[in-house]
Amino acid sequence: DIQMTQSPSSVSASVGDRVSITCRASQGISSWLAWYQQKPGKAPKLLIYGASSLQSGVPSRFSGSGSGTDFTLTISSLQPEDFATYYCQQANNFPLTFGPGTKVDIK
């Protein structure tokens, strides 16, 4: 199975800050990576797929990069509605696996 790790596990930031979250796969997954946002008590929401493609309706302040084993989600200017937990997910092969999550909270 492909193991996914994320860093940091949590980050405290202010509105307007640039925030980057990294995700690493235990083996190469090309660009088969997605990012999801989850707010408390809500279902996750797809932000980025194919490592860097922005899902329709997602603000352009979100961007993804990377390929192979190392990936990054960047929020260029953090907004109040962005405080949430973010998960990466590999879609290269079954079983599909998620990273442990990164919680972005208010400094």
Give me the residues that bind another protein (CB under 8 A), please. Answer: 1, 32, 34, 36, 38, 43-46, 49, 55, 87, 89, 91, 94-101
Nearer to another protein, 11 or 96 (CB): 96
Q: Least separation, in Å, of the C-beta of 87 and another protein? A: 6
Q: Least separation, in Å, of the C-beta of 43 and another protein? A: 4
Nearer to another protein, 17 or 24 (CB): 24
Contact 89, 24 (CB under 8 A): no
For residue 49, CA distances in Å to 9, 11, 12 come to: 21, 23, 25
For residue 58, CA distances in Å to 8, 45, 55, 75, 99 come to: 23, 10, 6, 11, 21
Q: Least separation, in Å, of the C-beta of 36 and another protein? A: 7
Q: What pairs with residue 57 in β-bridges?
A: none
